[in-house]
Chains A and B, each alone.
Chain A
Amino acid sequence: MIRFLTHRTLQGIVLILIVSMIGFTVINLAPGGPLSQYAMTPGMSQQDLDRIAHQMGLDRPIPVQYLDWLVNMVSGDWGKSYRDQSPVLDVVWRHMGATLLLMGTSTAIAVALGTLIGVLGALKRYSVFDYMATVGAMIALSIPTFWFGLVAIFFFSLELGWLPAGNMYTVGDQSFSDYAIHLIMPSIVLALVNVAIWSRYMRASTLDVMDQDYVRTARAKGLPRWRIVSAHIVRNALIPMITLAGLQLPTIIGGALVTETVFTWPGLGRLFIDSLGYNDYPVIMGLLMFSAILTVIGNFLADVGVALADPRIRLG
């Protein structure tokens, strides 16, 4: 186990290093820089831009800038945002809550509904329900979130006036129920695609398990049907889902991007897009590192989780 842990940790560190090196080089090589957006400021001159670039250290060679950044990052200083001069970790942290709230709610909906639909679809294979679930999943996967979000806003906010058209809370209210009512539309819109994905995986996985010998044995022993489904089929079918969940972990950075834009949700996805738009290198790098670290952790958790759930798998 210890060998496994050290091995994976070292592997993770090397991976993150490579990602950081590639990421840093690519964003710095891309044409235009953090200052290009200011060129159209009235009265701006190349002289001013050059001076500020020098003051910010942007005129140093890229490897020097990278090493500087790396040394600082390892010591816990992830740099400061070019946009608002706050430390990167602060910036990320302040956007994290909104994303976790939205992703958490929507993932809960997606997992519950997806599992239910997947299992039912598999148990009643080729039934009307199964066909409807399959077609529904295809549609949900094909509809762009952007469009679906706007249509939902059109009906539920503009036409019916039942739900707010966006935002995380009403300024000045911010009670639990206020958050809850603002969560309804974005979390359902965001969950839609995930329900489709989860239900498809769950259906396939359930079908695999259903034909296993132990299920036949359980049936032969005369166990009640609900016990066979809950204790033998679903539990075993969920094992591949742990891997899926682990792989989904890093998507909290970019996964809710479109939903966050349509519903003006101040989360990490929008932070990422805004930072890209402004060439805010420290924040982009911060989010990239964050995403890489989450990927490593997610994979690790998935492996450990699967091993814990399935005694046949040994780590090492």
Chain B
Amino acid sequence: MTNTPFKDLTHPSRRGFLGMTMLTAAGLGLSGLPGAARAQATGQVIVGISQEPTVFNPHLLHIEVDEGIHWAIFDPLFSVEPDGSFAPRLVTEVPSIENGGISEDGTEWKITLKEGVTWHDGTPLTAEDVKFTLELQKDPDFRAARRTGHELIEEITVVSDTELTWKMSSAFAPYMAILSWTFIVPKHAFDGVDPNEAPFNQSPIGTGPYKWDSRAPGDNIQLVANPDYHGDGASIERIVVKYVPDLTVLYTQFKTGDIDVIALQGISPDHYAEASTLEGKTVELVPVGTVETLSLNLGNPVLADKAVREALYLGVDKTTILEALYYGLPTPTETYMPQQSFYYNPDLPEHVYDPEAGKALLDEAGWVPGSDGIREKDGQRLSFICSTTAGNHVREQMQQFLQQSWKEMGIEMEISNLPPAVMWADHWMQSQFDMAVAGIIFLTGPDPDTTNYMSTDSINAQGGAGQNTFQISIPELDELLKKGATTVSPEARKPIYAEIQSMIREELPFLPLFQRNEVRGHLEGLQGYEPNINVRITFWNMQDWSWA
């Protein structure tokens, strides 16, 4: 299959089609007169989630569920649509080299804001707010969640109330994606207060389709439609985001009708079959960007041998694992790139389950069975420890299954699982594991850059800063990553990332198992609940929801 940039146009999938209609809708919204009559928003929807949103300042450290609230209350300059394209929110036009919004070398940016946008408190939005938001990320006293990209901004100039320009010290292609979830916050809400402790953080003011209404801690958050929204306003008047900590209870409340939408982790796989038979409810599989991996630590002398990594992968009976343990829900994959991405490389060699070939490979590499049947080479036993979050039963079953499969090949794997706070702290970040079962979102939004996970500078265990916990270090790969991050045009970047993917598939710093699909449920009458693989949260577009 050839993969043209216009795949979505030539073979319109349902998702692609929806993306297109949404783009058109966004375009129409722009041309609509600001004062045009708009239908009154009515009704309410109760969204059930298993984690509680608590951080309402979108620039403080937060978890994914908080972003559902951020998307409703705030606007970024432009947002990323399900097909990976950008659509204007607060700007009149998404900046690009073609329209002069970004200079040829990618370092000079120009943004024009829409006229007549107001904050929920009635204050008009100006370029000063945008400047403040971008500068807040670099404020040494502010606990900004991340500074990547923003750090490159050297100088922001406010040209007029609706226009601003900035210079960057170097071109950084992922900055488009970063801006697409950098929600603009009001400067006046931070006047004279510590931004970490501003009252704003507890009762946020945005420009978004929904306004903050109330919060009952530990229970629910209520949002009401913003009648003065500058785009196509919401058609559901009230959103209740209900916190139900237990997944079984969450599903029960969905069945009884206490909640209308199951968001976030969705319905657990073992309930999928039953859920699809529920009357009056729509239950569907939605791809998410998380790739389930068997992450390998190349700093381990045994796993540093590429033949061992290949043999391990040959010994993984993926089909059985998927069917028997995961109810056939996830999609098998060979790469870290979500298959919906524009940059996905579909031509990678397909995994085969062939333990005999694996054994032959090990024999060839000099790993020969010792007296206890476990292979050895130069006095080193082919043995390692596999760890993951304790209490994840499906993963534990998979570990036991793998343990057996590999044992037949003369490979010894021990299982030692840890509580989440231990597992993902130094054990993971400082590469203290041998093998880890980890679900990783490699991409930040739609941008294909994965320098953070794959470059030599990102190995924490070797004094770097990032999350290259595999400790993969290949000069050619570093080169390619650098080239990809500084190349601005998507068409030019595509072959670079295709090559990175085949290099990773070849080197196997992690064994790619599958891309996760989430089981999502909502009342049949709810329309417009569309998935978007490019954002972190499932309920990102509540302004497009409506009751049939």
Query: A residues near B, CB below 8 A?
Result: 30-33, 35-49, 52, 55-56, 80-81, 83-86, 91, 94-95, 98, 150, 153, 157-158, 161, 164-168, 171-172, 261-264, 266-267, 270-271, 273-274, 279
Contact = CB atoms under 8 A, between A and B. Distances in A.
Interface stretch (B111-119, B216-224, B309-317, B356-364): B216-224
Contacts of A270: 218, 245
B56 to A, nearest CB: 8
A291 B73 CA distance: 37
B467 A157 contact: no
A266 B217 contact: yes
A253 to B, nearest CB: 14
B240 A39 contact: no
B465 A166 contact: no
B352 interface: no
B444 A84 contact: no
B426 interface: yes
Contact of B253 (A52, A86, A166): A166
Contacts of B536: 42
Given A45-B458, A83-B54, A83-B55, A266 B258 contact: no
Nearest to B196: A85
Band of interface residues on B: 35 or more
Interface in B190-245: 196-197, 201-202, 216-220, 222, 240, 242-245
B246 interface: yes
A95 B201 CA distance: 19
A45 B217 CA distance: 30
A84 B425 contact: no
Given A168-B219, A266-B217, A37 B147 contact: no
Contacts of A171: 44, 46, 220, 222, 240, 242
28 contacts: A31-B427, A33-B421, A36-B422, A39-B424, A42-B443, A42-B444, A45-B466, A46-B460, A52-B145, A83-B54, A83-B55, A84-B217, A85-B196, A86-B202, A94-B217, A150-B249, A158-B256, A165-B252, A165-B256, A166-B244, A166-B258, A167-B258, A171-B46, A171-B240, A261-B245, A264-B249, A266-B243, A270-B218
A238 to B, nearest CB: 35
B212 to A, nearest CB: 14
A157 B256 contact: yes
Nearest to A46: B460
Contact of A52 (B143, B289, B426, B429): B143
B157 interface: no
B46 A37 contact: no
Contacts of B147: 48
A46 B425 CA distance: 10
B467 A44 contact: yes
